[in-house]
Amino acid sequence: MDQELDHALLLQRAKTIEETLDAFGAPGRVVEVRTGPVITQFGVEPDYLTVRGGKKVRVKVGTIAQLDKDLQLALGAKSIRIEAPVPGKGYVGIEVPNEQASIVRLRDVMESDQFKRIKSSLGIALGQGVDGTPVAADLSSMPHLLIAGTTGSGKSVCVNSIIASLLLENTPEQLKFIMVDPKRVELTAYNGIPHLVAPVVVELERIVGVLKWVTREMDERYRRFSAAGARNIDDFNKHLPSGEQLMPYIVVIIDELADLMMLAPEETERVITRLAALARATGIHLVIATQRPSVDVVTGLIKANFPTRIAFAVAGSVDSRVILDQPGAERLLGRGDMLYMSSDSPAPQRLQGVFVSDTEISNITRFWRQQMDDSDRAAAGRLNLSQFALDEMSKDSSRGSSGGG
């Protein structure tokens, strides 16, 4: 019965879209409907208008895009977003919030074919697309990630899902974390896990020093590569003599860039841009988040070195342009609704981010703290350990609603 109601609602909305477009002199036909966890995308193919002399001219996609407010009113929607046109499709996408949103679980994405196809151990589960398809990415190929969004947008949950993805796929021998949390509330739950190079850094005056240590580590790795005749970390580890310890990846998580830029803007910008430009080959990757994507925080130099970016809901179109170089993020719904811009995509992709509960974070951190006293299990190998950790994380996980923060 619910499916019949949902189908009837979709048909009604498609009809409303066509009637509204026709009423404003921009006729179009709904040719495809793609339903995701939070929004439904109606694919509208622009129709033809008869002009003077009987000549037929197709409606411009820009004309349809300008009717966003009228369509929002006609549909009675909280917000709509128009993608004109949808890359790779012959239509305009009109994205309308669903009556009921569904949660995207980390496990659903990590067990998908899309995640399993990632050859690197730095795969991260991002969410589901507008058609419900799981979306995952390889941090090693990004090679750094910039995340922006206001309070309650899902930014913090996204950072946690990235950390959880990496913890579930890597032993402490394979991956190390450096975490920076000036607010002292977002990342301190990870203190005590064996992957940390040092306890979560919370003192502002120490942060720039920590980043300088990372640059020295990068330089030292390049010296070791040169001596070994290796091009990058994978090449170096591949030719290590038997029994020697692998060089681990290092992922640097910075929870609030704005605090650093207020304290020491020039030094912070210089260190971050140098790392972003050079650190990839050494296996060092940056994940930087901010609530305030203004030009004095996300400078042009920083942005130029972070081609992969995620925008959650922001305050206005100016903030959206800072993070994505285009408007659109101001129309997002919050609670995990995001625009994901990768270096190999012509336009940002709308996703519903995965939700990781506090209970799941607690389970995975407890699991890894226990491994510090259980070397036998830690030696079991990545694949078995990953599955075991995933099972442990999912135990008694809360069924709350999807991601704020």
Q: How far apart are CA 233 and CA 249, in angstroms?
A: 8
pLDDT for 394 equals 63
CA distances from 54 to 24, 28, 195 (A): 20, 19, 71
Q: Which of helix, strand or coil describes residue 83?
A: strand
Tokens 């920083």, located at residue:
302
The pLDDT score that the predictor gives to residue 396 is 55
- pLDDT at residue number 50: 81
How much is the pTM? 0.88
Residue 387 has what pLDDT? 57
Mean pLDDT, residues 291-307: 93
More confident call, 286 vs 151: 286
pLDDT band for position 374 (cuts 50, 70, 90): low
Residue 324 has pLDDT above 70, yes or no: yes
Give the pLDDT confidence score for residue 38 in this predicted structure.
92
Predicted local confidence at residue 389, as pLDDT = 56
Residue 390 has a pLDDT of: 58
As a whole number, mean pLDDT of residues 190-211 equals 92
> Do the strands 92-97 and 81-83 form a parallel or antiparallel pair, or are they unpaired?
antiparallel
Can you list the domains of the chain with their CATH numbers?
2-97 (3.30.980.40), 106-394 (3.40.50.300)
Give strand ranges (E) for 191-344. 249-254, 284-290, 309-311, 337-341
pLDDT at 100: 86
Instruction: Name the least confident of 49-53, 95-99, 289-293, 385-389.
Output: 385-389
Name residues whose C-beta falls within 8 Å of residue 226's C-beta, 6 or more positions apart in sequence.
Answer: none
Residue 87 scores a pLDDT above 70: yes
Confidence of residue 184 (pLDDT cuts 50, 70, 90): confident
Report yes or no: 32 and 91 within 8 Å, Cβ to Cβ: yes
Q: Tell me the average pLDDT across 187-193.
A: 93
pLDDT tens across 101-117, in order? Answer: 899 999 999 999 999 99
Dist CA 285 CA 288 (whole Å): 10
Helix (H, G, I), strand (E, B) or coil at 103: coil
Give pLDDT, residue 243. Answer: 81
What does the pLDDT read at residue 28? 95
CA 111 to chain centre: 18
Strand, coil or helix: 134: strand
DSSP 2-39: HHHHHHHHHHHHHHHHHHHHHHTT--EEEEEEEE-SSE
What is the pLDDT, as a whole number, of residue 395?
Answer: 62
Query: Residue 402: pLDDT above 50?
Result: no
Q: Does pLDDT of 65 surpass 50?
A: yes
How far CA 304 is from CA of 194, 260, 323, 324, 366, in Å, comes to: 33, 18, 11, 11, 38
| pLDDT interval class at 379 (50, 70, 90) | very low
Mean pLDDT of 208-220: 94
